[in-house]
Amino acid sequence: MLLNAFQRFCRYEPLYLIGLPFLGWVLCFWKFIFGQLPLTADAVSYFQHIGFFTDHLARGVYPLWDPFWFDGAPYHFFLRRIGDVNPLLWMIVLMKWAGISHHASYMIFLLVNYFLVMLAFYLIARMMMKDRLYAFLAYVLLMFSSWGNQLFYNYIILIFLPIIWFFYFLLSFYRDQKKGSFLGMCLCAGIILTTYIPFYFIIILGVFMIASLVFYGRQVMEFIKRLWVFVSSRRFFVSACACFLLLSCVPAVILYQESKEGAFVLPSRYGDAKESSAVAVGIDNVANGDIINNGSFDKVFSNTSLLSMGDFYIPYFFFVLLLCGLAGTLTKRICFLFAIIVVLAAITTTNAVGIHQFLYKHVFIFKFIRNIYYFFWLAILPVAVLMIVDAFRSMLQTALASSSKKGWLAYILSCHAALIFFICVQGGFNWAVLTGLVLSAVFCCYVLRHEKASWVLIVVAFMAVAVQSVQVYGHLDRRFKEKGLTGYVKYDYRTFSYVRPETAAGEIVRPEIYYSTGHYAQLSRQLDPVVFNHYLRYRLRWVDNVIDYKNHPIYLKKLEEAMSAQLNVAYVTPTKEAGDVYAVSPGAPLKTDLALNATDQLKVSHFSANALDISVRLDKRRFLVINDNYHEGWKAWVNGKQTPVLRTNGSFKGLWVPAGESVIRLRFLEPSRYMFHLCLMAVFMGVFIYWVFLMCRQKDKGGR
Nearer to other proteins, 73 or 385 (CB): 385
Alpha-carbon distance 156 to 378, whole Å? 8
Contacts 24+ apart (CB under 8 A), 358-363: 360/283, 360/286
Report the nearest approach of other proteins to the CB of residue 328 (Å): 5
Q: Contact at 8 Å (CB) between 433 and 317?
A: no
Residue 330 contacts other proteins per CB under 8 A: yes
Q: How far is the CB of 290 from other proteins (least distance, A)?
A: 9
DSSP 306: G
Toward other proteins, which CB reaches closer, 330 or 400? 330
Select 188 or 323, whichever has its Cβ closest to other proteins.
323
Q: How far is the CB of 460 from other proteins (least distance, A)?
A: 24
**Enclosing H/E stretch for 157:** helix 157-175
Among 63, 325, 633, 650, binds other proteins (CB under 8 A): 325
Count of residues that interact with other proteins, criterion CB under 8 A: 28
Least separation in angstroms between residue 326's CB and other proteins is: 4
CA–CA gap between residue 356 and residue 263 (Å, rounded): 29
Q: Are 429 and 316 in contact (CB under 8 A)?
A: no
In contact, 387 and 129? CB cutoff 8 Å: no
Site for other proteins in 154-193 (CB under 8 A): none
Judged by CB under 8 A, the residue of 177, 293, 615, 698 near other proteins is 293
The minimum distance between CB 508 and other proteins, in angstroms, equals 9
Three-state DSSP state, 627: strand
> What is the per-residue binding string for other proteins in 382-411, x denoting contact by CB under 8 A?
---------x--xx----------------
CB of 309 to other proteins, least distance (A): 12
- 509-538 residues near other proteins, rule: CB under 8 A: 509
Interface map 470-509 toward other proteins (x if CB under 8 A): ------------------------------------x--x
CA 145/CA 147 separation, integer angstroms = 5
- We find the least distance from the C-beta atom of residue 390 to other proteins, in angstroms, to be 9
Nearer to other proteins, 339 or 581 (CB): 339
DSSP assignments along 91-139, one per residue = HHHHHHHTT--HHHHHHHHHHHHHHHHHHHHHHHHHHHH--HHHHHHHH
In whole angstroms, the minimum distance from the beta carbon of 648 to other proteins comes to: 30
Closest contact distance (angstroms) between CB of 229 and other proteins is: 36
Window contacting other proteins (CB under 8 A); options: 64-72, 233-241, 323-331, 538-546 = 323-331
Q: Residue 283's CB: how many other CB atoms inside 10 A?
A: 18
Closest distance of CB 168 from other proteins, Å: 25
Position among 278, 334, 447, 626 found at the interface with other proteins (CB under 8 A): 334
Torsion of CA 18, 24, 28, 34, to 10 degrees: 80
**Which residues from 299-318 bind other proteins, rule CB under 8 A?**
308
Surface-to-core class of residue 290, CB atoms within 10 Å of its CB (0-12 exposed, 13-18 middle, 19+ buried): buried
For other proteins, give the closer residue by CB, 332 or 452. 332
Choose the binding region for other proteins from 23-31, 92-100, 345-353, 424-432 (rule: CB under 8 A). Answer: 345-353
Q: Which window, 14-22, 338-346, 416-424, 686-694, contacts other proteins (CB under 8 A)?
A: 338-346
Question: 651 exposed, middle or buried (CB, 10 Å; 0-12, 13-18, 19+)?
Answer: buried
Calpha distance 346→336 (Å, rounded)? 16
Type and span of the H or E element at 628 = strand 622-629
User: What 3 state SS string does 634-701 have?
Assistant: EEEEECCEEECCEEECCCEEEEEECCEEEEEEEEECCHHHHHHHHHHHHHHHHHHHHHHHHHHHHHHC
Q: Give me the least distance between CB of 358 and other proteins, in Å please.
A: 12
What are residue 195's phi and psi, to 5 degrees? -85, 165
Amino acid identity, position 608: S
Q: Which of 177, 285, 294, 585 binds other proteins (CB under 8 A)?
A: 294
Decide: is 338 part of the binding site for other proteins (CB under 8 A).
yes
593 vs 374: CA distance, rounded Å: 51
Compare residues 370 and 677 and give the one whose CB is closer to other proteins: 370
Q: Which stretch binds other proteins (CB under 8 A): 186-194, 200-208, 332-340, 629-637?
A: 332-340
Q: Which window, 176-184, 192-200, 216-224, 351-359, contacts other proteins (CB under 8 A)?
A: 351-359
Q: Identify whether the C-beta of residue 605 lies closer than 8 Å to the C-beta of residue 614.
A: yes
Q: Applying CB under 8 A, which of residues 172, 349, 440, 516 lies at the interface with other proteins?
A: 349
- Gyration radius of the chain's alpha carbons: 29
Residue closer to other proteins by CB (options 334, 559) is: 334
Angle between helices 235-261 and 671-700 (to 10 degrees): 150
Least Cα distance to 539 among 500, 488, 513 occurs for: 500
The answer to whether 342 contacts other proteins (rule: CB under 8 A) is yes
What is the rounded CA–CA span in Å between residue 163 and residue 157? 10
Q: Write down the least CB distance from residue 216 to other proteins, Å.
A: 17
Distance CA 420, CA 493 (A): 55
Report, in Å, the least distance between residue 608 CB and other proteins.
38
> Which residues of this chain interact with other proteins, rule CB under 8 A?
287, 292-294, 296, 298, 308, 325-330, 334-335, 338, 342, 346, 349, 351-354, 391, 394-395, 506, 509
